[in-house]
Amino acid sequence: MAGVVERRSIDVVPDDERHGSAVSQFTLWLGANLQITAVVTGALAVVFGANAFWALIGLLLGNLAGGAVMALHSAQGPRLGLPQMITSRAQFGVRGAVVPLALVIVMYIGFFASGSVLAGQAVGELTHLGGTAGIVLFAAVTALAATVGYRLVHLLGKVAGLVCALAFVYLGVRLLQRADLAALLHDRGFGAPVFLLAVSLSASWQLAFGPYVADYSRYLPRHTSTRATFWWTFAGSVLGAQWSMAFGALAAAAAPGAFVGHEVGYVVGLGGSGLIASFLYLVIALGKLTINILNTYGGFMSLVTSVTGFRGPGAPGAEGGGRSLSPRGRAAYIAGIMVAGTAVALLGKDSFLASFKDFLLFLLTFFTPWSAINLVDYYLLSKERYDVPALSDPAGRYGAWNVRALTVYAVGVLAQLPFLATAFYTGPLVAPLGGADVSWLVGLAVPAALYWLTARRDTARLVEPAVREGRAPTGSGG
């Protein structure tokens, strides 16, 4: 088992342990997006008033825009050999990074819970054990796979990508046999608010991957092209998400009464009965397993990053002389996430998930400013160079708390509130925009500009071009 379970946690991956090619990012993110929650997300564009024609275009534009931001994060993995959120220490400080990290962990637990409810229904039908037992069984399998780690995650991504792609082709054909595509696309009346809603739905979907996408590219060889990593990640995520969302939008337009509120049953019923139905329940569970493992694995990374930020360089999994996290410690972190996510799933499986979904979408408000700050710092200011050992030293180059970056982050969050539309909070500028939520655009633009203006003269934290990542000194000089 020791040779199967991943040894690395948030420590840098040495060159002699790097393997694979950028193509692996395509299969992983294709499989992660061909799943029932993406189908539901696409359907929401139609449910909230968009016609099928403009819903498909809006969803595509959002996937392209959000997918580009997400893939820019992925391209950091091979260069640094680090999981995504630990690089936040370069912007917010070794301990200041815990601010966005805490919210990321809440998001992971929430997505784990909502995914477990949907997959638990499918597992319960497959095993005839019922929804509650299905949730518990699904959560246990998720935790086991996340404990094994990186290689198994990519293997499942390949399997899920192939199986789910075949299933979605079949389901697409079955849908078009029941519905007239020309009739569905005949109505082309344009409404700006619902169109912008469709864009926001898919863009937010892609942006939610940002905090952990580099976790799955960091084992690629250092010489892997940044461009190749970007385009393979972008292609897999955008193709998978648009495929699923387009299916959901067309299904909601063709049979809103049968689909909305009964998504799993509708998809399975669309495919057939007997063995075909059992296969489709398996497909739904497999698709959710892939993304739930990503959420669990990312939550584990974020939790370890948060804890080690306050323990210093000698902490397990830390850089700069720290020792690797033991398999037992790894399992304990993952078990904690599983227990918390499963508890939320069981408590909310009957009535809470609709409100909880709004809560999770609200949490995305806190991730777009982080994404903007991280990308501006990495690509425009630091020029893809970080002092990796200093990322675990509160007394080093990046310090413990970066008040300037945390202030920009807070301003970025607050700037979105007037444009935010959720069930429990709607900003004052949503109504003048016809009900459209464009908060994610504000959350990217405002902190990106502010951080560039305020941080570009801070030369003390920049790493010299001649210094390779992972070998720079940890002094405070530039």
The residue range of the domain holding 368 is 15-461
Residues contacting 201, CB < 8 A, separation 6+ = 41, 42, 44, 45, 59, 62, 245
The residue type of 456 is R
Q: What pLDDT does residue 108 have?
A: 82
Mean pLDDT of 71-93: 90
Pick 380 or 460 by higher pLDDT. Answer: 380
CA-based nearest residue to 45, from 35, 56, 33, 60: 56
* Three-state SS letters, 147-187: HHCHHHHHHHHHHHHHHHHHHHHHHHHHHHHHCCHHHHCCC
Instruction: Give dist(CA 31, CA 161) in Å, integer.
Output: 4
432 within domain boundaries: yes
CA-based nearest residue to 205, from 20, 383, 384, 440: 440
Mean pLDDT of 283-312: 81
Q: 336: how many CB neighbours lie within 10 A of its CB?
A: 15
Mean pLDDT of 259-279: 79
Contact 308, 392 (CB under 8 A): yes
pLDDT at 293 over 70: yes
CB burial class (10 A; 0-12, 13-18, 19+) of residue 121?
Answer: buried
Mean pLDDT of the chain: 82
Mean pLDDT of 438-449: 92
Q: What pLDDT does residue 302 have?
A: 83
Q: What pLDDT does residue 340 have?
A: 85
- Residue 149 — very low, low, confident or very high, per pLDDT cuts 50/70/90? confident
Tell me which of 58-67, 120-129, 389-398 is least confident: 120-129
Number of structural domains the chain divides into: 1
- Condensed to tens digits (0 to 9), the pLDDT of residues 120-143 reads 777 877 777 777 888 888 888 888
Instruction: Give dist(CA 412, CA 286) in Å, integer.
Output: 37
Residues contacting 472, CB < 8 A, separation 6+ = 386, 387, 388, 389, 390, 463, 464
Mean pLDDT of 435-459: 88
Q: What pLDDT does residue 424 have?
A: 74
Instruction: Give dist(CA 299, CA 105) in Å, integer.
Output: 5
Q: In a 3-state reduction of DSSP, which class is residue 396?
A: coil
Instruction: Give dist(CA 317, CA 428) in Å, integer.
Output: 45
4 within domain boundaries: no
What is the dihedral sign for C-alpha 16, 22, 24, 25?
positive
Contact 233, 75 (CB under 8 A): yes
Q: What pLDDT does residue 1 have?
A: 45
pLDDT at 12 over 80: yes
The pair of structure tokens assigned to 254 is 């063709």
Instruction: Give dist(CA 146, CA 142) in Å, integer.
Output: 6
477 within domain boundaries: no
Q: In a 3-state reduction of DSSP, which class is residue 129?
A: coil
* C-alpha separations of 83 from 296, 332, 386 in Å: 14, 19, 13
Highest mean pLDDT among 55-69, 166-180, 422-436: 55-69
Tell me which of 64-78, 281-295, 452-466 is least confident: 452-466
Which residues are registered as beta bridge partners of 153? Answer: none
CA-based nearest residue to 391, from 162, 130, 111, 86: 86
1 within domain boundaries: no
CA-based nearest residue to 106, from 355, 364, 437: 364
Contact 473, 463 (CB under 8 A): no
CA-based nearest residue to 75, from 236, 229, 237: 229
7 within domain boundaries: no
- Condensed to tens digits (0 to 9), the pLDDT of residues 310-346 reads 775 545 444 443 446 677 777 888 888 888 888 888 8
Mean pLDDT of 419-446: 84
- Residue 472 — very low, low, confident or very high, per pLDDT cuts 50/70/90? very low
- Residue 478 — very low, low, confident or very high, per pLDDT cuts 50/70/90? very low
441 within domain boundaries: yes
Mean pLDDT of 460-466: 64
Q: What pLDDT does residue 466 have?
A: 44
- Condensed to tens digits (0 to 9), the pLDDT of residues 163-219 reads 888 998 998 888 888 888 888 888 888 887 888 888 988 998 898 888 889 888 998
pLDDT at 469 over 60: no
Residues contacting 29, CB < 8 A, separation 6+ = 157, 209, 233, 236, 237, 240
pLDDT at 158 over 70: yes
CA-based nearest residue to 87, from 237, 213, 204: 213
375 within domain boundaries: yes
The pair of structure tokens assigned to 193 is 């608010």
Q: In a 3-state reduction of DSSP, which class is residue 426?
A: strand
Distance from the Cα of residue 224 to its chain's centroid: 22
Q: What pLDDT does residue 324 have?
A: 63
Q: What pLDDT does residue 109 have?
A: 83
Q: What pLDDT does residue 201 have?
A: 86
Q: What pLDDT does residue 261 have?
A: 64
Residues contacting 235, CB < 8 A, separation 6+ = 26
Q: Tell me, what CATH number does 49's domain have?
A: 1.10.4160.10
44 within domain boundaries: yes
- Residue 473 — very low, low, confident or very high, per pLDDT cuts 50/70/90? very low
pLDDT at 102 over 90: no
φ, ψ of residue 474 in degrees (nearest 5): -105, 15
The pair of structure tokens assigned to 150 is 């990186």
